[in-house]
Amino acid sequence: MTTVPSLLIEELAFAYPDGNQALFGVNLRVARGERVALLGPNGAGKTTLVMHMNGIHPAEHGRVSVAGEVIDTKDKDLLRRIRGKVGVVFQDPDDQLFMPTVGEDIAFGPYNMGLRGAELDKAVDEALALVQMSEFKDRPPHHLSFGQRRRVAVATVLAMKPEILVLDEPSSNLDPAGRRELADILRSLDVTIVMVTHDLPYAYELCERAVILSGGVIVADGNTGDILRDATLLAQHRLEMPVGFSL
């Protein structure tokens, strides 16, 4: 019996109202529990693709399915369900944190999904524990370090118990200790991860599989190490390994 994938994108094409064609027939299947790095140059269509994963953009051509459900942006109940299943962690945690305390920030999503009382408290405490931030529950987010705020931003999504965790440049602006701490947390999670990043060593460290999106099409899909060792492929799509870094 075939297991239903966390994410299935079939022949997805999309053009913006100004006529700019961002995606040209993208096909992507991500199995439950996979960690996939989404790589590509600026303007490749990565953000547009992510915006289809939780129904911000409707599929003009082709379709997107999450855990077996085809996204239909006209079905508001379905859309609410999908957005609970696909949690996006933004590059800047301050775009995600706006409540007086860490605990209230994490409670915001589950509360709006209908959780109350002990059930809501449990969701908050479990999410805090997953990102090793339990002791900061009553702190104002702006009193935390940047790395701690990023971990809280991850917790706001984990509290929704998502099918897919989408991370936008998760390592950006983190010091070495913050990078390592976040990597350890991400490795420990039992969730499907799609990581959008230009940080190729971080992709190698965390994701066994990598996909390169360039010019609105997938030009490579395979083992992350194999892809990152192909210097010609990387150069063709404006991707570079850091000087001195070798696999």
What are the pLDDT tens digits along the chain (247 aa)? 568 999 999 999 999 999 899 999 999 999 999 999 999 999 899 999 999 999 999 888 999 999 999 999 899 999 999 999 999 999 999 999 999 999 999 999 999 989 999 999 999 999 999 999 999 999 999 999 999 999 999 999 999 999 999 999 999 999 999 999 999 999 999 999 999 999 999 999 999 999 999 999 999 999 999 999 999 999 999 999 888 777 7
pLDDT at 129: 97
Q: What is the DSSP string of 125-165?
A: HHHHHHTT-GGGTTS-GGGS-HHHHHHHHHHHHHTT--SEE
For position 213, what pLDDT does the model report?
A: 97
pLDDT at residue 2 in the model: 61
Domain ranges for the chain, please list them.
7-96+165-236
Question: Could you tell me if 30 and 6 are in contact, meaning their C-beta atoms sit under 8 angstroms apart?
Answer: yes
Residue 246's pLDDT is 76
Classified by CATH at the fold level, domain 7-96+165-236 comes out as Rossmann fold (3.40.50)
pTM of the predicted protein model: 0.93
Say which amino acid occupies 220. Answer: A
Residue 55 and residue 82 in contact, taking contact as beta carbons nearer than 8 Å: yes
Give the per-residue pLDDT at 242: 87
Percentages helix, strand, coil for the chain (3-state, rounded to 5) are 40, 25, 35
- Locus of tokens 């390994």: 241
- Angstrom distances, CA of residue 155 to CA of 55, 109, 126: 21, 11, 9
